[in-house]
């Protein structure tokens, strides 16, 4: 646990009692703060009270009297589409609002670091797609090369739930736009921007607000080094905002769309990763046979992770060896099984059109399981990427409408995962890939994309047994 510094004897309120909220309350108490908590959910409040936390109804008049700060869990809207009433009340009472990410950066460094030979470092990864894989891959490469590391944030443990840093340790944080948008302190040593595609637009009042939330990690934090994906205009803009000229190696640009030659750059084309320094190639890795990183979208993740690890002093050969042993993450291009020459791949995390398009480009001869709670913008931008789809099997409550939009591809309305997997397995031939890449949220049928992926795996096991 990271004890929160700076609130000894002060009363701090915590709104939201999920994983991050409970960890935040514990870290505040460990640091000497008096903590009161609130959640709209009665069971969540009862569980917290049973564990000894003090419940205060923050919706009541005068609830913020004597409170120094309000800490908000990431899922709670603080601006768009409408601020949570408790947050509005904190504003009216002139109580500062923050989140656990802000507390982490405020509290991570301690006097114990004075005795370390190598100061701990923090790597923060944000972007629309690939954050989890990039973060996990960085962590894996570090561990495989004998560097102590912890993985936290939007993946793994909450940021305040990790252990205090050891000498030379690297903390790898995956940060969502919900987390970067509100944090009052953002000071990573290395910050990564993978890419940008439309997502969470209601929460950020459009694409501009969504990008602005991610840009805060760089504009507010001033990292020593920034790794920026430049395959979208927003990444090119961000890199240009940070760079002082062609020789400025504080910015490493990454791309899978074109070969980068100026400054310090890492790109991947046709399955080969290249590192360029001052116009000269200094290293190359063949990614085509790395089992845990299939497809161009994963090659972008590999570029980002490679750039981070090179920034931390690792050599290309050590990075390459670790990439080959990377097992991949559940629900992200996860190979479930191969049966009768047919591969079954779980990419349930492909919850938006862009991530699904990248999954479709990673394979050929695809039996595509898709559908769910559709996001804003429709499926038009997905249509150019259906050339590898032999047939789509559509699930979800809106399956008929989803299938209607897939012009140019044969689509069968299945409704449920069990029917979709059964039909795809029955029609698949050797060399085909049965791919779950929904291009939609899961909440019409499942509690989370993880539950959806687990159902896919169970259905595959039944169909192939």
Long-range contacts of 243-251 (CB under 8 A, 24+ apart): 247/278, 249/277, 250/224, 250/225, 250/226, 251/225, 251/226, 251/227
Is residue 130 marked as binding?
Answer: yes
Q: Could you tell me the two tokens for 353?
A: 């059109």
CA dihedral 142, 146, 147, 153 (to 10 degrees): 50
Q: Is the peptide bond before 458 cis (omega within 30 degrees of 0)?
A: no
Is residue 84 marked as binding?
Answer: no
Strands 272-277 vs 264-269: parallel, antiparallel or unpaired:
antiparallel
Rounded Cα distance, 367 and 432, in Å = 7
Q: What is the CA radius of gyration of the chain?
A: 23
Can you give the length of the chain in residues?
A: 465
Is residue 131 marked as binding?
Answer: yes
Q: Could you tell me the two tokens for 166?
A: 């050891």
What beta strand segments (E) does 135-247 contain? 149-153, 170-174, 190-193, 225-229
Going by C-beta distance under 8 Å and a sequence separation of 6 or more, which residues neighbour residue 73?
Answer: 14, 15, 16, 17, 18, 20, 21, 24, 99, 100
Helix (H, G, I), strand (E, B) or coil at 376: coil
Instruction: Return the residue matching tokens 């694409």.
Output: 207
Helix (H, G, I), strand (E, B) or coil at 8: coil
Beta partners for 367?
391, 434
Query: Distance of CA 345 to CAs 182, 224, 386, 422, 433, Å?
Result: 35, 38, 17, 15, 7
**CA distance between the termini of the chain:** 44
Q: Could you tell me the two tokens for 298?
A: 């994963």
Taking each helix axis from N to C end, the angle separating 316-324 and 295-311, rounded to the nearest 10 degrees, works out to 140
H helices present in 295-385, as ranges: 295-311, 316-324, 353-361
Q: Pick out the residues of the known binding site.
A: 127-133
Q: Which residues are annotated as a binding site for ATP?
A: 127-133
């Amino acid at each position: 646990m990271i004890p929160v510094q700076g609130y000894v004897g002060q009363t701090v309120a915590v709104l939201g009692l999920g994983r991050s909220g409970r960890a935040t309350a514990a870290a505040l108490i460990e640091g000497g703060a008096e903590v009161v908590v609130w959640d709209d959910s009665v069971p969540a409040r009862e569980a917290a009270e049973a564990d000894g936390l003090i419940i205060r109804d923050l919706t009541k008049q005068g609830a913020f009297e004597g409170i120094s700060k309000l800490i908000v869990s990431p899922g709670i809207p603080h601006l768009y589409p409408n601020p949570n009433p408790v947050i509005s009340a904190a504003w009216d009472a002139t109580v500062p609002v923050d989140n656990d990410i802000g507390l982490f950066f405020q509290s991570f460094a301690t006097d114990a670091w004075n005795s370390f030979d190598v100061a701990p470092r923090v790597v923060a990864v944000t972007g629309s797609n690939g954050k989890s894989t990039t973060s996990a891959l960085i962590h894996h490469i570090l561990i495989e090369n004998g560097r102590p590391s912890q993985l936290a944030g939007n993946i793994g443990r909450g940021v305040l739930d990790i252990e205090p840093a050891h000498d030379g340790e690297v903390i790898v944080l995956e940060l969502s736009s919900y987390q970067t948008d509100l944090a009052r302190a953002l000071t990573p040593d290395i910050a990564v921007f993978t890419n940008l595609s439309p997502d969470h637009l209601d929460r950020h009042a459009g694409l501009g607000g969504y990008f602005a939330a991610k840009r805060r990690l760089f504009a507010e934090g001033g990292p020593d080094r920034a790794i920026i994906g430049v395959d979208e205009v927003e990444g090119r803009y961000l890199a240009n905002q940070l760079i002082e000229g062609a020789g400025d190696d504080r910015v490493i640009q990454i791309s899978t769309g074109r070969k980068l030659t100026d400054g310090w750059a890492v790109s991947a084309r046709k399955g080969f990763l290249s590192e360029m320094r001052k116009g000269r190639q200094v290293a190359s890795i063949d990614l085509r046979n790395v089992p845990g990183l299939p497809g161009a979208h994963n090659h972008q993740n590999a570029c980002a992770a490679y750039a981070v690890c090179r920034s931390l002093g690792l050599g290309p050969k050590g990075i390459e060896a670790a990439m080959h042993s990377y097992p991949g993450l559940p629900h992200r291009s996860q190979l479930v099984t191969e049966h009768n020459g047919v591969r079954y791949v779980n990419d349930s995390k492909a919850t938006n059109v862009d991530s699904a398009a990248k999954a479709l480009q990673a394979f050929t001869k695809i039996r595509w399981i898709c559908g769910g709670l559709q996001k804003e913008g429709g499926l038009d931008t997905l249509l150019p990427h259906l050339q590898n789809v032999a047939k789509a099997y559509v699930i979800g409550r809106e399956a008929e409408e989803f299938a209607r939009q897939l012009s140019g591809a044969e689509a069968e309305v299945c409704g449920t995962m069990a029917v979709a997997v059964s039909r795809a397995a029955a029609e698949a031939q050797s060399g085909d890939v049965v791919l779950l890449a929904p291009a939609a949220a899961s909440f019409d049928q499942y509690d989370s994309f993880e539950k959806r992926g687990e159902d896919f795996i169970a259905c595959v096991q039944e169909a192939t047994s």
